[in-house]
Structure 1
Amino acid sequence: MSKADSSVQRDAAHPAAVGEPGGGLAVAVWATLKRDLTLMLRRRGEVLNPLVFFALVITLFPIGISPDPELLATIAPGLLWVAALLAALLSLDSLFRGDYDDGSLEQLLLAPQPLAMLGLAKVAVHWLLTGLPLALMAPVLGIMLALPAGSYLILAISLALGSASLSLIGAIGAALTVGLSRGGVLLSLLVLPLYIPVLIFGAGAVQAAILGDGAAAHLAILGALLALALMLAPWAIAASLRISING
């Protein structure tokens, strides 16, 4: 790790970096967002891995199955969503791992601001660097799967909404397994069942757009799932982190 990296981690790990006791919640959340964005942008490999995985899966699938446009268009909604889900899952294990290893996670627990809000800020960074890029990439990769042009917007919107829910749900599992040396498999087992509703309605929205049935209902359900996750997940993340750190 470079001296600049070490300096950023030391400064950001200090409780002052997440807001002084009188600094207010907004200051703490902004400091956490800025810190995590800075650290993640210095680790470009961790940011690019899920995106490269997503692109490779979509690129190789037509080669391994069939180049038939009709077949590809039929399976495209499910394939794009499953690939995006797995790509997002790849980066979850490192969501709290760096903070746990350098001790700054314990300082977050001692910060005067609510841990739930600080955890939500960290999840927001994960979505900005993983979920949002996946949503923007998906329509471009959809061209390779002969996805009808009229469904591109629905695909991007559904992935943007759904990936935010995936990040929130996945962060709960990441918080529970952060203290385990090899928690990746357990993390997958914990969160994959909870991902199924998002996957069903996300892929269903794209399929409905292809068939011309209208995707408003599916998008509304994805929005409702996101709203529910925003209400409950931050507190579950905070509780999970306390369990992992304090035992």
Structure 2
Amino acid sequence: MSDIFGLSALSGVIRRDLRLAMRRKADALTPLFFFVIVVSLFPLGIGPERDTLRQIAPGVLWVAALLAGMLSLNRLFEQDYADGTLEQLVLSPAPLGMLVIGKVIAHWLLSGLPLVLLAPLLALQFDLPTSSLSVLAISLAIGTPVLSLIGAIGASLTLGLRGGGVLVALLVLPLYVPVLIFGAGSVDAVAAGLGAVSHLSLLAAVLVLAGFFAPWATTVALRIALE
């Protein structure tokens, strides 16, 4: 019964956050527009040299996705903290960890999934082959949830602090480095004629670790912030 109640609370949080995001469409679309603009600027600035564009494409796309995902981290708990909803969530009978997972899933659906779907289209500007495009999409599908999970830890640790956006960046950027290395490295490996399985496997291992530890760390940080 408790498992069913926890799942219903999880789906309720996801639906609520998605509905609120639809009411503030500008906030939801800002990371997507940022991603499109940043990725599109590089081919314009570098020029039509195909070899150079193919070489920089994995790093550019992954760094742009990483930065775009960070733009919405402040809003992960800030609105609920300001209006008292977060305190009600902590006091609710549902496990707080389950509620945190629901908010992370909603954050990924709004800021991560659109990047996964849009990245292969934007990568055409860099003249990437079809095999690299598919690996790029797979790596982002595995890696962007890790960014949301780690970002939730940073957002909870800086909750209620002045200048929290800068502090979040300082906290999470070093933790994003392995995701960036494995994600961009998988596309580079395919371009070099090597298999991407090892990079994707390591990226999946990071996802498993983040999925296990991040909700627990976030709940602890939220309880401390509300004390």
TM-score category of the 2 structures, normalised to the smaller one: over 0.9
From 44, 48, 53, the equivalent of 2:29 is 48
Q: Is the 8 A contact 1:179 1:245 kept in 2?
A: no
Whole-Å Cα distance in 1 between the matches of residues 53 and 177 of structure 2? 22
- The equivalent of 1:198 in structure 2 is 179
- The equivalent of 1:87 in structure 2 is 68
- Quote the offset at 1:243 in angstroms: 1.4
- The equivalent of 2:160 in structure 1 is 179
Structure 1, unaligned runs of 5 or more: 1-20
From 135, 139, 142, the equivalent of 1:154 is 135
Query: TM-score normalized by structure 2?
Result: 0.96
- Secondary structure at 1:92 match in 2: coil
Letter of the 1:71 partner, please give it: T
Whether 2:148 is the aligned partner of 1:167: answer: yes
Q: Is the 8 A contact 1:169 1:229 kept in 2?
A: yes
**C-alpha offsets along residues 49-93 of structure 1, whole Å, 9 cap, x if unaligned?**
111000001111122223211101000001100000000011111
Whole-Å Cα distance in 1 between the matches of residues 172 and 3 of structure 2? 37
| Stretch deviating more after TM superposition (57-66 or 102-111) | 57-66
**C-alpha offsets along residues 84-138 of structure 1, whole Å, 9 cap, x if unaligned?**
0000011111111110111100111101111111001000000011111101111
- The equivalent of 1:132 in structure 2 is 113
Whole-Å Cα distance in 2 between the matches of residues 88 and 37 of structure 1? 16
Letter of the 2:47 partner, please give it: S
Q: Is the 8 A contact 1:95 1:126 kept in 2?
A: yes
Alignment of 1:61-100 (within 5 A): 61-100=42-81
TM superposition outliers: structure 1 runs of 4+ over 6 Å: none
Letter of the 2:76 partner, please give it: L
Whole-Å Cα distance in 2 between the matches of residues 22 and 60 of structure 1? 48
- Quote the offset at 1:23 in angstroms: 7.2
Letter of the 1:229 partner, please give it: A
- The equivalent of 1:16 in structure 2 is none
Letter of the 2:27 partner, please give it: E
Q: Is the 8 A contact 1:72 1:145 kept in 2?
A: yes
Letter of the 1:57 partner, please give it: V
Q: Structure 1 27/68 Cα, relative in aligned 2: closer, same or farther at 3 Å?
A: same
Equivalent residues, number:
226
Structure 2, unaligned runs of 5 or more: none
Letter of the 2:65 partner, please give it: A
Letter of the 1:101 partner, please give it: A
Whether 2:198 is the aligned partner of 1:217: answer: yes
Whether 2:202 is the aligned partner of 1:242: answer: no
Whole-Å Cα distance in 1 between the matches of residues 23 and 204 of structure 2? 32
Instruction: Report the aligned-residue RMSD.
Output: 1.3
From 133, 145, 154, the equivalent of 2:126 is 145
**C-alpha offsets along residues 145-204 of structure 1, whole Å, 9 cap, x if unaligned?**
111222111100100110000000001000111211320000000000000000000000
- Secondary structure at 2:176 match in 1: helix
| Stretch deviating more after TM superposition (206-215 or 119-128) | 206-215
Whole-Å Cα distance in 1 between the matches of residues 180 and 4 of structure 2? 40
- The equivalent of 2:7 in structure 1 is 26
